[in-house]
Structure 1
Amino acid sequence: MKAIFILLPVMGTLTVCAQNKIDTTSSALGIGTKTPSFYYHGGNNMGLEIFNSNTSANSQAHLILSTGATGNFGSTGTLSWMTPNSTGNKGVAYIAARTMQDATTNATGDLFFATADNAIPTVKMRITSKGYVGIGVNDPRAYFDVAFAANNVRASVLARLPEGNDVDAGTYIGVEAYSTTGGQVKSFALEHKFYGKLNSAINFYRGGDMTGGFMTFSTNTGVERMRIDANGNVGIGTTATQQYKLAVEGTIGARRLRIDQGTWADFVFDPGYKLPSLMEVEQYIKVNRHLPDVPSTNEVKENGIDVGEMNKVLLQKVEELTLLLIQEHKEKEEIKKELEGMKFQIKELQKERK
């Protein structure tokens, strides 16, 4: 009888009078009712029915505790909250324990929490024998497992703010469940909504198979700003990430930019390097309208430029020009020496004539 006194405070104030009865046929105990009965548990099942006699005839409620080997929600015990209608008592909510194995060996059991939706009782949450908690899933495989079968469903809310919480879905950050049908579709999203309107989000897309997924990042009204594709390529302001590790549509601002270049232009200073003459450079420019080794305008328009490679080519031109200037300087020094010699000879000739 200890279980009776434990359950009584749950119901608040109860009127216990002549309306109490122990049914010797079903071994059921009724408090506040002479006819203790079971909605889901029949036969010779022991049970306790608490009837709230303070309510009106049209809103009388029952709390039923039953045990036995049969039942929709439990084979060990079910706590049921009932309300009446025109055809009899109907279950509203249930807490049920179910023994999964024979208790004489290695017993395991699950705890179920069920509610009635349109008079159809369904399990909404369960705690398994492993301690896993499942909401909307029959076989939770994690310590907290939430699942929804429908698309575009608010699966869980992680945090809420009071501002705007009374408008639509409110102000919160939560997990949204989307679709798994077809390739390259959004499956999940971690979304921030303000006054029920989508603000920013991290979106998870599935690939064409079990692999190949990618992520996108949205701001403002949920507009995509950045993505990381299946190959690890990053796109900012663009979805064209196939050819680049980082693709940016717009201007990049930075204080420093480091490019690791495999080769450099110092080969120009090798003794065996064939330095083009200025005449050769002039002829090339006349024909091609650009410097040797430097891409043309059309090539840049079509393919862009490799910044590291372009810096190497430009340095190569600077080094070639430096060598040409050194060469020109040496030739000028030779001419200067020759002129000085000629001047000396002229002066000597002038002296002899005198």
Structure 2
Amino acid sequence: MKSILLIISLGLSLSTYAQIVGSFYGSTDGTESTDIKIGKKTSGSTNFTIRTYDTGGSSYLRFHSLRWGAGYTWSREHSDGVDRNIAYLFGSGSGNYFQLFKDSDQAVTLQLHSKGDSYFNGGNVGIGTSTPTSLLHLKKNAASSIGPVLYLQNNQYDNSDEAGSRIAFFGYTENRKISIDGIMRNSGKPHRLEFNFEEDGAIINAMTMKHNGAVGINTSETGSHKLAVEGSIGAREVKVEASGWSDFVFEPDYELLTLEEVEQHIQEKGHLPEIPNAAEVTQNGINLGEMNAKLLQKIEELTLYMIEMNKRMNQVEAENAELKKEVSILKNE
């Protein structure tokens, strides 16, 4: 009798186990799926349902919550008997987010949020590489692709019709930073790239590059120049590609002003002929190549005056020597 009861009990246990680990179908022939309901039954419903379904030739597993907010936790039991979180997924009307946890202290190392902050605090991140060597390592492996490795885009324009993307470099405090700003202008206005230094709220524009190739150093206003510098320039050598030079002064048909004409111009104008006055230089500046050519022209004119004066002095000295000779003859008679 006891043997019969033991056999019956074992059969019931195996039957129950088969129901637990077996398949669940919505129909007896197994062609339709059914919901597995889990959780506390309240007002005719449960907290969660698990459903499988096929569509478009693919099979899906769906977790569904009947509450306003739903959280799903993946955890494991540690050797000390305490559960440790591995991952957490939460969804509600105010936002959905996913988190990964560090095993040792359960700190959140990864968060992806649909409406809030997303971050990663676990190590280096590699895109295009499995061996990142910095916090963010971008690598493009396609040899035939020539597109950008990093693409920054901002479609929102402010009141001044500008939109920008920024790359900022911080030290130990956000009060001091270096930034590279790409400023896009709408309505056909010029774009620019700025290199800025900021300390305690004060922004210094170190360099600006404009879409037409103009560069401003310590200024964003380049005017009609390709290079504008607010401040002095130090260089070991400067080469100016001049379009013309002043050797025409030595041409036979060059009309050299007389010294009397030069004197009259100075008395009337207060500066040399063909040289801008102080007011013009203050207002318009000078063209370095053109001014050097003008100064050389005046030097060459001075050279011609000196040559002419030297000829006259030689003539005077010759005449003076002749007169001395005649005077000596007269004294000896």
TM bucket, shorter chain = 0.5 to 0.7
Which position in structure 2 is the counterpart of 1:25?
Answer: 26
User: Which residue, 192, 201, 206 being the options, matches 2:184?
Assistant: 206
Deviations 1:15-73 (A, max 9, x none): x88643422316899xxxxxxxxxxxxxx655897989xxxxxxxx989683412xxxx
Q: CA deviation at 1:213?
A: 2.1
The one-letter code sitting in structure 2 at the alignment partner of 1:326 is I
Give runs of aligned pairs for residues 276-287 of structure 1, distance below 5 A.
276-287=257-268
Gaps of 5+ in 2: 1-16, 40-46, 74-88, 99-113, 127-133, 137-149
Distance 1:315 1:218 in 2: 42
Change (3 A) 1:80 1:201: farther
**Does structure 1 residue 179 correspond to structure 2 residue 161?**
no
Q: CA deviation at 1:76?
A: 2.3
Give runs of aligned pairs for residues 119-130 of structure 1, distance below 5 A.
119=93
Which position in structure 1 is the counterpart of 2:58?
Answer: 76
Which position in structure 2 is the counterpart of 1:188?
Answer: 165
User: Which residue, 205, 211, 217 being the options, matches 2:195?
Assistant: 217
User: Which residue, 242, 246, 250 being the options, matches 1:261?
Assistant: 242
Distance 2:18 2:193 in 1: 66
The one-letter code sitting in structure 2 at the alignment partner of 1:191 is A
Change (3 A) 1:47 1:312: farther
Q: CA deviation at 1:326?
A: 0.8
SS of the equivalent of 1:206 reads: strand
Q: CA deviation at 1:223?
A: 3.5
Which position in structure 1 is the counterpart of 2:230?
Answer: 249
The one-letter code sitting in structure 1 at the alignment partner of 2:178 is S
Give runs of aligned pairs for residues 1-354 of structure 1, distance below 5 A.
19-25=20-26, 46=33, 66-69=52-55, 76-78=58-60, 87=67, 90=70, 117-119=91-93, 160=135, 177=154, 179-181=156-158, 184-195=161-172, 197=174, 199-209=177-187, 212-221=190-199, 223-351=204-332, 353=333
Change (3 A) 1:269 1:229: same
Contact 1:64-1:80 within 8 A present in 2 as well:
yes
SS of the equivalent of 2:185 reads: coil
Q: CA deviation at 1:316?
A: 0.8
Deviates further, 270-279 or 322-331: 270-279
Q: How many residues align?
A: 253
Q: CA deviation at 1:303?
A: 0.6
Distance 1:193 1:331 in 2: 75
Contact 1:92-1:121 within 8 A present in 2 as well:
no
Distance 1:154 1:259 in 2: 54
Contact 1:67-1:75 within 8 A present in 2 as well:
no
Q: CA deviation at 1:193?
A: 2.8
Change (3 A) 1:46 1:186: same
TM-score of the superposition, structure 1-length normalised? 0.58
Contact 1:237-1:248 within 8 A present in 2 as well:
yes
Distance 1:154 1:237 in 2: 37
Distance 2:172 2:27 in 1: 55
The one-letter code sitting in structure 2 at the alignment partner of 1:24 is Y
Change (3 A) 1:28 1:186: farther
The one-letter code sitting in structure 2 at the alignment partner of 1:22 is S
Deviates further, 202-211 or 305-314: 202-211
SS of the equivalent of 1:23 reads: coil
Distance 1:62 1:189 in 2: 45
The one-letter code sitting in structure 2 at the alignment partner of 1:304 is G
Change (3 A) 1:193 1:17: farther
Contact 1:186-1:203 within 8 A present in 2 as well:
no
Which position in structure 2 is the counterpart of 1:141?
Answer: none
Distance 1:177 1:335 in 2: 83
Distance 1:181 1:267 in 2: 57
Give the superposed CA RMSD: 4.5
Contact 1:184-1:208 within 8 A present in 2 as well:
yes
Deviations 1:160-199 (A, max 9, x none): 49xxxxxxxxxxx996857335565232122223346261
Q: CA deviation at 1:258?
A: 0.7
Change (3 A) 1:66 1:252: farther
Distance 2:26 2:69 in 1: 21
TM-score of the superposition, structure 2-length normalised? 0.61
Distance 1:263 1:332 in 2: 34
Q: CA deviation at 1:78?
A: 3.6
Gaps of 5+ in 1: 1-15, 30-43, 53-60, 94-114, 125-147, 162-172
